[in-house]
Structure 1
Amino acid sequence: MSLTRVRDIALSLMALVGLYLLYFAPDRDYGWIGNAILIGSAWITFYLWSKSAPLAGLSWSLGEQLATLSLAFTGVVAVFFVLKMQQMGWQVTDLKQPGVRSLGRNIVLMLVLSYVLMAALRARAGQEAVEDERDRQIAARAAAHAHIVLVVALIGLVLNLGFGGSVFASYATPLNIAHWLIGLLIASILAEHFSAVWQYRRDRA
């Protein structure tokens, strides 16, 4: 097994351990350890990747790479948002409630990592990092799809708040509604990136 292969496996394992400590570790909050491992493995990966030669013959445009990366990170955020809300019983009663702080911290961490990696992708592309007309059209259509998803979801939420009965109304506290809106925003962003990736793949087919 080559040294490069061993390095890639080690970095992947470090990232997986970091994700586990951030999101799945039971009983105790290992968040800061997970943060350190995840950020450390990501930084080493970015550094080694920036020193390597560009991949020859890669058919993906920069726009498609950025859209795919954003979809992956948003998907991770969406999955763990749902899992964390499920652990809290779909209710946020207090900002000091166990899980609320780690939820916000981990979402911010994933956003920071995604922006750092996207900046690295743009820097690596150099002069090729130019948005063309196709990229602008795909971005516009993807944004329109995200807008539709968000509007439909908001209408559904409003209807449930108005006609969901006493059971649903009991959950409609300001903190719960705020987190529901965050969830709807994540869903719309996920739809936007999925739409962009699908359009790029369709154009390549």
Structure 2
Amino acid sequence: MMTRSWGLAGLLAVAGLSLWLLIASPSALLGFDGGKLGVALLVTTAWGSLLLLHRVPRSEFEGRAALGEWRAWIGLGFMLVAVAYYLAKVQVFQGAELWRNPEAGAVGRHLVLLLIAWAVLSQVLSSRWRGAVGEDERDREIARHAADWGHGALIFGVIGIAVTLGLSPASRLAWATPAMVSSLLVFALMWGWLCEYAASAVYYWRDRH
């Protein structure tokens, strides 16, 4: 148990370092692109998490939280990283042509890698519940309410973008390049997922307490 706790603490420390490298990109300090190192460390953290999950007995997982709650908390962590990274790098999408902007392409690849890592980790987590009841009426009810929060957040984000573009004078829309608008729509999706995972985690937490 002590070794497992130290392993979890180490993974959290590496994840924090990788997030700093992604957001700050201290190339002047390190002498190379810190963003690439941050992505590499995030992938390493994801694989370390997979290894840790494989070593933990399923009974220990089931005793602490349901599958839906594990998914909610891990998904919330991944979405927080993705949203924070996007907000820190949103200025790179101000170019008129996305495919000719290497910085924007790098940010897009990093976000895709984050989503892939979460998808793989989610599948491994689900495999730990194979042969057991992974969802009951409570889980379905929480999922329905959380999805309502996610849909509402997505709709709010899309309407906010539409209103901003529709009501702002053309002289103040120099920032609204096609690349920027498309990135904002992707951000609206991430915002919806973030709110859905957050709502699901809160519902499970309230139900247990």
Bigger shift: 2-11 or 189-198?
Answer: 2-11
Q: Report the CA distance between 1:9 and its aligned residue.
A: 4.5
Aligned-residue CA RMSD (Å) = 2.5
1:23-58 deviations in Å (ceiling 9; x for gaps): 322234244443333323432332243123342773
Give the corresponding residue for 1:199: 203
Which structure has the highest helix share of the two? Answer: 2
Give the corresponding residue for 1:170: 174
Bigger shift: 41-50 or 5-14?
Answer: 5-14
Q: Read off the aligned partner of 1:19 and give its amino acid letter.
A: L
**Distance in 2 between residues matched to 1:142 and 1:4, nearest whole Å:** 31
Give the corresponding residue for 2:82: 77
Q: Is the 8 A contact 1:62 1:129 kept in 2?
A: no
TM-score, L = length of structure 2: 0.82
**Distance in 2 between residues matched to 1:3 and 1:200, nearest whole Å:** 28
Give the corresponding residue for 1:133: 137
Alignment of 1:103-118 (within 5 A): 103-118=107-122
Unpaired stretches in structure 1, ≥5 consecutive residues: none
**Distance in 2 between residues matched to 1:142 and 1:185, nearest whole Å:** 15
Unpaired stretches in structure 2, ≥5 consecutive residues: none
Q: Is the 8 A contact 2:96 2:178 kept in 1?
A: no
Q: Alpha carbons of 1:35 and 1:83: their partners in 2 closer, same or farther (altered >3 Å)?
A: closer
Q: Report the CA distance between 1:193 and its aligned residue.
A: 1.2
Q: Is the 8 A contact 1:74 1:189 kept in 2?
A: yes
Alignment match of 1:63 (pick from 47, 60, 68) = 68
Q: Report the CA distance between 1:111 and its aligned residue.
A: 0.9
Q: Is the 8 A contact 1:161 1:168 kept in 2?
A: no
1:55-90 deviations in Å (ceiling 9; x for gaps): 27734211111111111111111111101114x3x6
Instruction: Give SS of 2:63's match.
Output: coil
Aligned residues: 202
